[in-house]
Amino acid sequence: MNKLLLLFFIPIAILFYTSCKEKLPLNKDLTKKSYALLNQDSVEVKFPEIISGNITVIGFIFTNCPDICPMTTHNMYLTEKKLREQKIGNVKFVALSFDPERDKPSVLKKFAEFRGIDFNNWILLTGEKIIITDLLRRFDVRAIPADSIYSDDGELSYSIMHTDRISLIDNKGFLKKNYTGSKLNIDELFNDIKNLRGN
Amino acid sequence: MILLLILNFLFNQPKDEIIIKDAWLRPNGKGMTTALYFNIENAGKQADTLFQVDFEFAARVEIHETYEKDGMMGMRKVEHIIIKEGNSFSLKPGAHHIMLIKLKKDINDGKQEEFLLHFKKAGEIKITAEVKKQ
């Protein structure tokens, strides 16, 4: 009888495990290294400690990006709105700049304020370039300076080619899934968050 | 004189044959960058070209396109956009857009801003765009 039960439950367990793995295909431990960064208020914070215990949606942006990064940020904003409407809490939203030379904390704060972002739920991060570069590598996010031009006042203006990315991190600090930031399927991310919470 | 009138008739396109719809831009702060989007309909009998956009509250205005290369997203300047006769062209997120570089004032959600579009045949067309956070 016991053998019959095992024969019945083992395939179901394998099926369940495979299905979860497909929905959340990654399992990368981000807690092995800590990064000292600055939040939008110029307060030094440690990542990933700052998100510890929370499911986290992280987007990679630069504020001089007129097209892709605002779409990524807006998609995160819409995901947060949907979670709030469904009364699902304990989810943090992080926007990490890959342009730390221009994206000082005050710039990030202003960028967020223009988009009605709620700082109770959101953290915008910048920091030293060398640290940011190392952290981006952990997420397999690439950002390369592209076309540059000197404006009339002699200021260098440049664009950045970058990975279009939003990532989902579980409450233990494991990277679980990547999404295309500007073309995010909000329902997919929403369901993945529910799945992580066990809803 | 008659020859000039004939040439003008042949090579210029009435303004009302170029129709601009759904113009909007994203909010952002002074000193930063944002993008303007709209739809161009060419109801005329000849192709027309958008080659310049003026906005008094940006240090520089350029026509750009977003592109993907090696799994990364980038932007590049384009000199103009050609809209064939009887066709339309959408400047939209993730594609062509008007890049407003180094804003001279805050662009706030819910407000409206005015722009001047320059077409080779239709000439100057003034438009009003809504500021929307999306």
User: Domains (ranges, CATH) in chain B?
Assistant: 15-131 (2.60.40.1890)
* Nearest by CB: A66 against B71, B99, B106: B99
* Nearest by CB: A114 against B29, B33, B101: B29
* Nearest by CB: B34 against A66, A74, A160: A66
Query: Does position A1 have pLDDT exceeding 80, yes or no?
Result: no
A11-20, B27-36, B68-77: least confidently modelled range: A11-20
Residue A70 with chain B: CB contacts under 8 Å: 26, 34-35
Entry pTM: 0.89
A39-43, A61-65, A83-87, A149-153: least confidently modelled range: A149-153
Nearest CA of chain B to the CA of A65: how many Å?
7
Which of A81, A114, A141, A151 is most worth mutating to test chain B (most B CB atoms within 10 A of its CB)? A114
- What one-character-per-residue DSSP string does B12-51 give? ---GGGEEEEEEEE--B-TTS-EEEEEEEEE-SSS-EEEE
Cα A128 from Cα A121, distance rounded (Å): 24
For A139-169, what is each residue's pLDDT tens digit? Answer: 999 999 887 776 677 777 788 999 999 999 9
Q: Which of residues 28-87 of B touch A (CB under 8 A)?
A: 28-29, 32-35, 59-60, 64, 66, 69, 71-77
Task: Supply the DSSP symbol for B104.
Answer: S
pLDDT at B134: 83
Q: What is the predicted ipTM?
A: 0.87
* pLDDT greater at residue A149 or residue B96: B96
Query: Does position A24 have pLDDT exceeding 80, yes or no?
Result: yes
Query: Does position B9 have pLDDT exceeding 80, yes or no?
Result: no
pLDDT at A155: 72
For B40-60, what is each residue's pLDDT tens digit? Answer: 999 999 999 999 999 999 999
Average pLDDT over residues A38-60: 98
Amino acid in the structure at residue A83: L
Nearest CA of chain A to the CA of B76: how many Å?
7
